[in-house]
A and B are shown apart, each in its own frame.
Chain A
Amino acid sequence: MKKKRRIKPHRIGQIIASIIQLGYIPTFWTGSIYQGVLKRGCVPILNCWGCPLSLFSCPIGGLQHFFNLHLFPFYIAGFFGAIGMLVGRMACGWLCPFGLFQDLLNKIKTVKLKLPNWMTYIKYAVLIGVAGIISWITLEPWFCKLCPAGIIEAGIPLVLADKTGDIRALVGWLFWTKAAILIGVIVFSILIKRFFCRVLCPIGAIYSVFNRFSLVHLQINKERCKQPNCGICAMVCPMDINVYDNPNQKECIRCLECIKKCPGIALTVKFRKPMPWDVKT
């Protein structure tokens, strides 16, 4: 009998969140971007606010905007901090449309590669260097200019839908640079799980700092492991982390797939209160 395939809970979250975040349908007949009070709110993930379908603002775009004005971003810093303290990197796993895009790309059956650990530190350079220092000095949002989410959510659809040629006239070196970055991200996402999130995403870099301290976190009870490190948790992990060694590594996006698949029920979600079956390891 064929095994019934069930859609993963975090995948449902990603789909619903993508529909809500990119839900400004009137843009198809008005041709204008959403302008309203919802734009005051940032979504806790990467979502191009230049996209005509976007109902909310992008926090990393907002962060750079305040840097461009040489102001401290109290709202954005508080927003990132509060989300990070409560759930760590969970938003990356449950809400991000670009994460969903990469997850689907990685389902393409081909040879898979492991990402060297040192490459996961590049995103901190992107955050501090590109979204921080360069934006502050040049007064331009350079991460937005290079972000592949902007071209896939907005640039390419607008150029393809352009009937008058006005938009196509604006295609230049920046468009092709972004397109090249997008192609690179697509190719590497097919080969490597969540390549962009692990190597380039500045939002992931911010949340990753909070992963060790956040209210929601994972706990492994090594005594409940049916056989020490059977490897199933690491195998199902979309971020390729070694869950047995440390389930709260900076790359964990709290998708909870490892908990669902663990044969020994050794993994649990914790809210900083010990559960009755928890044994200190």
Chain B
Amino acid sequence: MRKLILIIIFTVVFVAGIIYGGMLGDFEEIEAVGSVMCLSCMGLQQ
């Protein structure tokens, strides 16, 4: 039971991290960088 409570606490902390990141604009940042064709990810160079 103690382990289960610890798992719940840690999961809540991590979910809070996601929410806090979202408040800081992490979602928009990821969307912006993910919407550009990353040439170097494909092994191509300019």
Contact = CB atoms under 8 A, between A and B. Distances in A.
- Most-contacted residue by chain B among A34, A49, A58, A159 (CB, 10 A): A49
A47 to B, nearest CB: 11
A85 B42 contact: no
Interface string A93-118: 00000000000000000000000000
Given A33-B35, A81-B14, A82-B15, A147 B41 contact: yes
A151 B43 contact: yes
Given A49-B41, A50-B37, A172-B45, A78 B18 contact: yes
A61 interface: yes
| Band of interface residues on B | 35 or more
A40 B16 contact: no
A170 interface: yes
Interface string B17-45: 11111101011111101111111111111
A171 B39 CA distance: 10
Given A75-B21, A76-B21, A82-B11, A39 B34 contact: yes
B41 A48 contact: yes
Q: Is the interface of A mostly helix, strand, loop or mixed?
A: helix
A140 B46 CA distance: 15
Contacts of A170: 39, 44-46
A175 B43 contact: yes
B34 A49 contact: yes
Contacts of B24: 74
A36 to B, nearest CB: 8
- Most-contacted residue by chain A among B20, B27, B31, B44 (CB, 10 A): B44
A246 interface: no
A30 B20 CA distance: 36
Contacts of A141: 40-41
A154 B31 contact: no
Interface of B: 3-4, 6-7, 10-11, 13-22, 24, 26-31, 33-46
15 contacts: A37-B31, A39-B31, A39-B35, A50-B41, A58-B34, A61-B38, A78-B21, A81-B13, A82-B15, A85-B7, A159-B44, A167-B44, A171-B44, A175-B45, A177-B43
Given A61-B34, A150-B41, 17 more contacts: A34-B35, A40-B27, A49-B34, A56-B34, A61-B33, A61-B41, A74-B18, A75-B22, A75-B26, A75-B30, A76-B26, A78-B16, A82-B11, A82-B15, A171-B43, A213-B7, A213-B10
